Amino acid sequence: MDWEEPKGWPGVIHREGRTLVRVSERPDSQKTGPVSRRGDGVFLNPAMSGSRTRSVLLLDHAIESGILGEGPIYALDGLAAGGIRARRWLNEISEDNAKRLDVTISDLDRGAIDWAMGNHRDFPPLHGKGQLSSAVGDLRKLVLSHGRHWVDIDPFGSPLPFLDTAVQSLARSGVIEVSATDTAALTGSSRGAMLRRYGARVRTDGLAHDSALRVMLANLASTAAKHDRCMEPLLSIWDSHHLRVSARVRKSRSRANIFEDDIGWRVHSPTHEEVLASVEAGLHPSCSLDSLPMTCLLPVSHPVERKDPRISGPLWIGSIGDQSAMCSMTEEKATRLCAPEFADEDLAGWSEKDFEMERRRVVRSVRNIEHEGAVIGSAHHILVDDLSSWLGIGSPPSPTLMVNKLNEMGCNASLTHYGKPSFRTGASWDDIVEVALSLQPPM
Ligand SMILES: C[S@@+](CC[C@H](N)C(=O)[O-])C[C@H]1O[C@@H](n2cnc3c(N)ncnc32)[C@H](O)[C@@H]1O
């Protein structure tokens, strides 16, 4: 495709991670919510920079771990806007891995693709490895033109219109990354939209974001199953105004046949019988039932009253991440691959302080993920605010102290990368209560 100078070019030079980018207007990197696309400019939302950093790290890990095979890797940044995500993949993953990448960016907006390709020409990957090509058009058509090992869908709003064809386009073993910004629907506050789009209900409580991630995973698993594929979550994160799930998708009719084994319900304030059923299904550690837990998961075969306000689902009841992928996301690796190094006479005109701020943003984008990976499949995700009200104790116990004490007792536990102070643990509910009461006695 011939390059045409887009309106507003050459704009100003900005940086995200280690990658330089021309944008029509300098974005406010402190911004944490959605931004609207303005007039002739190119779209770049700084609130998504953490998601792009994690995408770089996940791609690097997927290549290293062999799940994308040994040959060239065909990747598609399907709703690319100005192409910053794909350009960061090429520029920031290690040179040996980048040289296997054959990346396509696509978007309906010709101007955005021209910004992207102009940026690629002016600021190519520093190591000079990997290929980048572009296409303009509707992703739902374009995506089927080629098989891919990696497909990224990052829409305004819901990803559902793109999911089916994107899954079909994947190689026998590939990875799909899906963002969603229709947060009112996903967190259950817009009930009609949630039910219509995702076929589920979500209780609007502190775990609503966790439940929303699981609803998205359930939708992805069922879409994959329709095409004789199974889905294994690699990373599921809610970040400011959007959620993002990344999953490995593989051809396997036998696994697709049993995808419902990982679908079920989350029950708030479960009854004695519901907790027992959860324990029997292997979804909850055995406990005395002297005091009932705040929530439990149940298999889809368990009869529930779907309109019961305690119930969220149907949703994914398996692990929402992969231990090895998450444990690879260390602060050290994020810094090594993605954090920029200060240089005098910087092209973007950044001061030493600007560099330091970006380095901190990079580190923040993976905070706790490495350790959370070790417990990601655990039954309990406990918000300490909820725990203190549930147990009638004064103020919420410190999540760090809870984790330390549980670890001392030999139970696995970790802080989370979640918007509210919380921890995950495989400890029994009795142990959690004992530790909480030892830290914060009842009022
Ligand atoms: C949220 S933006 C993408 C942001 C980008 N991934 C990033 O990291 O900066 C969504 C993009 O999808 C594009 N788009 C919307 N509908 C589309 C479709 N049916 N096919 C292709 N692109 C589409 C829009 O033009 C817009 O640039």
Q: pLDDT, tens digit, for every residue of 331-349?
A: 999 999 999 999 999 999 9
Q: Is the model more confident about 86 or about 43?
A: 86
Q: Which atom of ligand 1 is nearest to the CA of 112?
A: 27
Q: How far is CA 249 from CA 48, 86, 229, 256, 427, in A?
A: 24, 20, 6, 10, 30
Per-residue confidence (pLDDT) for residue 441, from 0 to 100: 79
Task: Report which ligand 1 atom has the smallest distance to the Cα of 154.
Answer: 6
Q: Using most ligand atoms within 8 A of CB, pick from 19, 44, 108 the residue to mutate for ligand 1.
A: 108
101-107, strands of its sheet edge to edge: 131-136, 101-107, 73-77, 148-153, 170-180, 242-251, 229-239
Q: 154 C-alpha vs ligand 1 centroid, how far in Å?
A: 7
Cα–Cα distance for residue pair 370/160, rounded to 1 Å: 29
Count CB neighbours of 241 within 10 A.
15
> Over the chain, what HEC string results?
CCCCCCCCCCCEEEEECCEEEEECCCCCCCCCCCCCCCCCCCCCCHHHHHHHHHHHHHHHHHHHHCCCCCCCEEEEECCCCCCHHHHHHHHHCCHHHHCCEEEEEEECCHHHHHHHHHHHHHCCCCCCCCEEEEEECCHHHHHHHCCEEEEEECCCCCCHHHHHHHHHCEEEEEEEEEEECCHHHHCCCCHHHHHHHHCCECCCCCCHHHHHHHHHHHHHHHHHHHCCEEEEEEEEEEECCEEEEEEEEEECHHHHHCHHHHEEEEEECCCHHHHHHHHHCCCCCCCCCCCCCCEEEEECCCCCCCCCCCEEEEEECCCCCCHHHHHCCCHHHHHHHHCCCCCCCCCCCCCHHHHHHHHHHHHHCCCCHHHHHCCCCCCEEEEHHHHHHHHCECCCCCHHHHHHHHHHCCCCEEECCCCCCEEEECCCHHHHHHHHHHHCCEC
pLDDT at 214: 98
pLDDT of 62 above 90? yes
pLDDT-derived band of residue 442, with 50, 70 and 90 as boundaries? confident
Which tokens in the block code for residue 95? 């040179």
C-beta of 109 in contact with ligand 1 (< 6 A): yes
pLDDT of 240 reads: 86
Tokens 């789009």 belong to 197
Distance (Å, whole) CA 232 – CA 134: 29
Residue 272 CB-half CA count within 13 A: 4
Give the per-residue pLDDT at 42.
Answer: 80
Is the pLDDT at 289 greater than 80, yes or no?
Answer: yes
Q: Which residue(s) pair with 425 in the sheet?
A: 380, 413
8 A C-beta contact, residue 121 and residue 87: no
On average, the pLDDT of the chain sits at 95
User: Considering the chain, what percentage of its residues have pLDDT values greater than 70?
Assistant: 97
pLDDT at 38: 52
Q: Is 139 in the pocket of ligand 1 (CB under 6 A)?
A: yes
Mean pLDDT check: name the lowest of 21-25, 119-123, 170-174, 321-325: 21-25
What confidence score (pLDDT) does residue 394 get?
A: 86
Contact between 47 and 33 under an 8 Å Cβ cutoff? The reply is yes
Question: Which ligand 1 atom is the nearest neighbour of the CA of 51?
Answer: 8
Angle at 134 between CA 128 and CA 138, to 5 degrees: 155
Terminus-to-terminus CA distance in the chain, angstroms?
Answer: 69
In terms of pLDDT, which residue wins out, 409 or 33? 409
Residue 241 scores a pLDDT above 90: no
Give the closest residue (by CA) to ligand 1 atom 10.
155
Long-range contacts of 410-415 (CB under 8 A, 24+ apart): 412/374, 412/375, 412/378, 413/375, 413/378, 414/368, 414/371, 414/372, 414/374, 414/375, 415/368, 415/371, 415/372
Q: Per-residue confidence at 401, pLDDT binned at 50, 70, 90?
A: very high
Measure Cα distances from 174 to 73, 74, 80, 353, 421 in Å: 10, 10, 19, 39, 33
% of the chain at pLDDT higher than 90: 92
- Write the pLDDT tens digit of every residue in 157-199: 999 999 999 999 999 999 999 999 999 999 989 999 999 999 9
For residues 300 and 28, the model is more confident at: 300
| Residue 32's pLDDT band (cuts 50, 70, 90) | low
Ligand 1 pocket member 44 (CB < 6 A): yes
3-state secondary structure 198-230: HCCECCCCCCHHHHHHHHHHHHHHHHHHHCCEE
Give the span between the Cα atoms of 388 and 408, in whole angstroms. 21
Output the residue whose Cα is nearest ligand 1's atom 18: 138
For tokens 């479960």, what's the residue?
270
Beta carbon of 41 within 6 Å of any ligand 1 atom: no
CA nearest ligand 1 atom 4, residue: 81
Mean pLDDT of 238-261: 96
91-107 residue pLDDT tens? 999 999 999 999 999 99
Cβ atoms within 10 Å, residue 266: 27
Write down the pTM of the prediction.
Answer: 0.96
Domains (range + CATH), the chain: 12-260 (3.40.50.150), 383-443 (3.30.56.70)
User: What's the rounded mean pLDDT across residues 281-291?
Assistant: 95
Q: What is the mean pLDDT of residues 282-295?
A: 96
